[in-house]
Amino acid sequence: MSMNVQPDLDFIKDMKSAGGDTLKKCYQCATCSVVCPLSTDGNPFPRREMILAQWGLKEKLLGDANVMLCHQCGDCTTYCPRGAKPGDVLGAIRAYAYKHFGWPKGLANLASSGKNLPLLIGIPAVIIFVFWIISGGMHIPSGEDFARYGYGHFFGHWDFRLLAKNVFFIDIIMVPAFLLAVYASYRGVSAMWKLMVKSSGIEEPLYRPSVNQFIKEFLWPSVVEIVQHARFKKCITNADRLKGHLPLLLSFIALLFVTIYSFFVQDILGIFYPSLHGPISMWNPVKILANVAAIALIVGIGILWGNRSRKEAEGTTTRTFYDWFLIWMIMAVGVTGLAAELFRLINVASVGYVIYYLHLVSVMMLFLYMPYTKFAHLVYRTFAMAFERYRESAYVKNPLTQ
């Protein structure tokens, strides 16, 4: 029986530019499937995916949950006798997926190429700079005001007690960027889920789980597994990545808690107790947690930076904008955040305000480009892991016929 294969040449070209240029070296020896912990007798991963990639079968790969389940432990690349680097190829497929599923398309395409880096930095830099001018707060405060308010008057001050002027301007900058990231991620994950259902050959489910059932049985266990880094611990070649990924993830969780705490105390309780406005005491447990988390963030991303540089120097992985853009952004967030606090403590407002401006730019970049960068793997992989549980559940497979 013959089969007519229509390769997507643009897809192959995109994969090569994103680090999958070694794809054609694969000659299907199946060594990668032998060493990969995701591979089973009925699911020879990533050998099957390497075939699909060579053939340019984009739709099948975009609907393949295993592509997102892969956390690039590197074992397949290490043991490949031909230097085909399956791990890099799968990373390139994921990079394409984030662009393919991304919305709006213009922003997704913009964030996919290193040649657009000046524009990627320039967009949030200009937006924040314009709002800084509009706010009327664009001036360097006196040493006394800086010591008292820190960056709380960066966008100026007004006497409206229900909402501080600084919070108002930060909200109208950051909240839309965050909501765009959430909506774009929702659209992307929904499209991916439909393709996974189609590719898995799942027919109409016996009965559909409710939202609560889906979260409890599929989504929450996936989140717990990711936080525990259970699959990372099975890596051999890239075992050191656990030392970078774990503190990085925990630091983001801690900083999220600190942000929520700061919002509640300063911007809600502060309405009734104005003394709560201003910088949090350095000896406040939450402030200590924030500083520890910031250090953990820098240490974690520093470890990943070093590991990535070492692997590139050894020739075991390919240098790509896709991999480095997220590293640069996270390092910028951590370094500018700590540096801004340092200059506040030594009361140098002129330098501190400039660094705080760069901190806001880097934070906005992290929000704005999250759905289109390697950061998106956290979202897509979570739902791929939920799908992995779903496709084996009684909602899909009738236990009486197994």
Tell me: the pLDDT tens digits for 386-400?
999 998 888 887 665
Residue 96 has pLDDT above 50, yes or no: yes
DSSP 39: -
Q: Domain boundary at 84, 101, 118, which? A: 101
Residue 25 resides in a domain:
yes
Tokens (6 digits) for 209: 């789980």
Same domain for 136 and 203?
A: yes
> With bands split at pLDDT 50, 70 and 90, how would you rate the model's confidence at 184?
very high
Residue 110 resides in a domain:
yes
Tell which residue, 138, 62, 51, 57, has the closest CA to residue 97.
Answer: 62
Among 72-81, 135-144, 330-339, which stretch is predicted with the lowest mean pLDDT?
Answer: 72-81
Among 117-131, 161-175, 194-208, 299-313, which stretch is predicted with the lowest mean pLDDT?
Answer: 194-208
What average pLDDT does range 283-306 have in this prediction?
92
Residues constituting the chain: 402
pLDDT of residue 1: 44
Same domain for 139 and 53?
A: no
Residue 3 has pLDDT above 60, yes or no: no
Share of the chain above pLDDT 70, in %: 95
Tokens (6 digits) for 279: 């910088």
Range of the domain at 96: 9-101
Same domain for 367 and 325?
A: yes
Same domain for 27 and 163?
A: no
Residue 2 resides in a domain:
no
Omega prior to 274 cis, within 30 of 0:
no
The domain tally of the chain equals 2
SS (HEC) of the chain: CCCCCCCCHHHHHHHHHHHHCCHHHCCCCCHHHHHCCCCECCECCCHHHHHHHHHCCHHHHHCCHHHHHCCCCCHHHHHCCCCCCHHHHHHHHHHHHHHHHCCCHHHHHHCCCHHHHHHHHHHHHHHHHHHHHHHCCCCCCCHHHHHHHCCCCCCCCCCCCCCCHHHHHHHHHHHHHHHHHHHHHHHHHHHHHHHHHHHHCCCCCCCCCCHHHHHHHHHHHHHHHHHHCCCHHHCCCCCCHHHHHHHHHHHHHHHHHHHHHHHHHHHHHHHHCHHHCCCCCCCCHHHHHHHHHHHHHHHHHHHHHHHHHHHHHHCCCCCCHHHHHHHHHHHHHHHHHHHHHHHHHCCCHHHHHHHHHHHHHHHHHHHHCHHHCHHHHHHHHHHHHHHHHHHCCCCCCCCCCC
Residue 183 has pLDDT above 90, yes or no: yes
β-bridge partners, 65: none
Same domain for 343 and 304?
A: yes
Same domain for 93 and 193?
A: no
Same domain for 186 and 281?
A: yes
The letter for the amino acid at 75 is: D
Question: Tokens 């439909």 appear where?
Answer: 194
Same domain for 130 and 51?
A: no
Residue 230 has pLDDT above 80, yes or no: no
Tell me: the pLDDT tens digits for 322-336?
889 999 999 999 999
pLDDT of residue 401: 55
What average pLDDT does range 232-254 have in this prediction?
81
Q: Is 296 exposed, middle or buried (0-12, 13-18, 19+ CB in 10 A)?
A: buried
pLDDT of residue 371: 94
What average pLDDT does range 65-83 have in this prediction?
86
What average pLDDT does range 344-349 have in this prediction?
94
Same domain for 53 and 182?
A: no
Same domain for 246 and 284?
A: yes
What average pLDDT does range 248-261 have in this prediction?
90
Q: Domain boundary at 67, 85, 101, which? A: 101
pLDDT of residue 357: 97
Same domain for 123 and 186?
A: yes
DSSP 266: I
Residue 401 resides in a domain:
no
* Other C-beta atoms lying within 10 Å of the C-beta of residue 311: 18
Residue 202 has pLDDT above 50, yes or no: yes
pLDDT of residue 128: 97
Same domain for 136 and 68?
A: no
Residues 6+ apart with CB under 8 A from 237: 73, 74, 75, 77, 78
What average pLDDT does range 158-176 have in this prediction?
88
Expressed in percent and rounded to 5, the helix, strand and coil fractions of the chain are 70, 0, 30
Residue 203 has pLDDT above 90, yes or no: no
Q: Domain boundary at 52, 75, 101, which? A: 101
